[in-house]
């Protein structure tokens, strides 16, 4: 029996999240892309962060969507509305986005996957969890936790036909200039892209790995952390 992924949830709508959402939409998958609500409570649109990220992605060149109408396959939302039954007052926002959201989304979707005997869970890790970073202890810790969560889920459902892997992007191009990045938080990392391939990665390069992990042919890849970084880190 063959299976095809029809729906996917992308947690986080930054340059990576929006790029992944667009790539999944390109191959016919309906995507729910979630992000946090804005801090400014006077803003009525609770989904504005995800909305703006999707708009920026579509405006970028080259356009990550093969056809404009594919944008209709992407629905934006926010974590609070989708996970309102569970409160996490004691967790910082970054832990909510990086760890809690992955746990809750998997918890909500794992039942149907187990029932049909097939499914894919793909977490998005961070390079800083493996090489460290100054002034970003919360990010490093939360991304490292995703690796553990990935291994736990992969073992928990290994006999149910559900695989779980973690994809770790390296330094990925976004809407800022290279000079802006290298003068900002990028320098907090002990390594920079200029030391490796002298370029940033493209969101499509990461999205392609994720799309391939969704295929039936990827059954034997489970519990793994896959690095897409051009050689910035080689475990």
Residue 87, pLDDT score: 35
Contact (CB, 8 A) for 165 and 154: yes
Candidates 72, 79, 84, 74; CA nearest to 53 is 74
Candidates 141, 119, 118, 120; CA nearest to 129 is 141
Residue 100, pLDDT score: 83
DSSP 10: E
> Which residues partner with 34 through β-bridges?
11, 77
Residue 155's pLDDT band, with cuts at 50, 70 and 90, is: very high
Candidates 204, 94, 217, 219; CA nearest to 157 is 219
Exposure of 217 by Cβ count < 10 A (0-12 exposed, 13-18 middle, 19+ buried)? exposed
Highest mean pLDDT among 27-41, 135-149, 150-164: 150-164
Is 222 strand, coil or helix? coil
- Residues contacting 30, CB < 8 A, separation 6+: 6, 7, 8, 73, 75
Among left, alpha and beta (phi > 0; psi -120 to 50; other), residue 164 is beta
Residue 221, pLDDT score: 97
Exposure of 11 by Cβ count < 10 A (0-12 exposed, 13-18 middle, 19+ buried)? buried
Pick the CATH number of 7-228 from 1.10.10.10, 3.40.50.1100, 3.40.50.720, 3.30.70.260: 3.40.50.720
> What pTM value is reported for the model?
0.62
State pLDDT tens for residues 36-45.
788 777 888 8
Average pLDDT, whole number, for the chain?
Answer: 80
Residue 136, pLDDT score: 61
Residue 174, pLDDT score: 63
State pLDDT tens for residues 189-214.
554 544 467 777 888 899 999 999 99
- Return the structure tokens found at 45: 């649109």
φ, ψ of residue 89 in degrees (nearest 5): -65, -30
Highest mean pLDDT among 24-28, 120-124, 136-140: 120-124
């Amino acid at each position: 029996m063959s299976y095809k992924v029809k729906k996917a949830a992308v947690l986080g709508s930054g340059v990576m999240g929006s790029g992944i959402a667009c790539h999944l939409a390109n191959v016919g998958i309906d995507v729910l892309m979630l992000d946090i609500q804005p801090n400014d409570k006077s803003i009525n649109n609770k989904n504005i962060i995800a909305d703006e990220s999707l708009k920026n992605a579509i405006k970028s060149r080259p356009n990550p969507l093969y056809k404009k109408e594919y944008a209709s396959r992407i629905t934006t939302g926010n974590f609070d509305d989708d996970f309102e039954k569970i409160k996490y007052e004691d967790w910082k926002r970054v832990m909510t986005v990086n760890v809690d959201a992955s746990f809750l989304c998997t918890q909500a979707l794992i039942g149907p996957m187990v029932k049909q005997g097939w499914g894919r869970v793909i977490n998005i890790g961070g390079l800083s969890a493996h090489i460290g970073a100054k002034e970003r202890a919360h990010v490093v810790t939360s991304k490292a936790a995703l690796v553990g969560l990935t291994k736990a889920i992969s073992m928990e459902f290994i006999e149910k036909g559900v695989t779980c892997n973690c994809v770790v992007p390296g330094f990925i191009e976004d809407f800022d200039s290279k000079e802006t990045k290298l003068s900002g938080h990028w320098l907090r990392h002990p390594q920079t892209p200029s030391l490796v391939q002298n370029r940033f990665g493209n969101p499509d390069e990461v999205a392609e790995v994720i799309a391939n992990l969704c295929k039936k042919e990827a059954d034997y890849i489970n519990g793994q952390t896959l690095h897409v970084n051009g050689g910035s880190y080689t475990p």
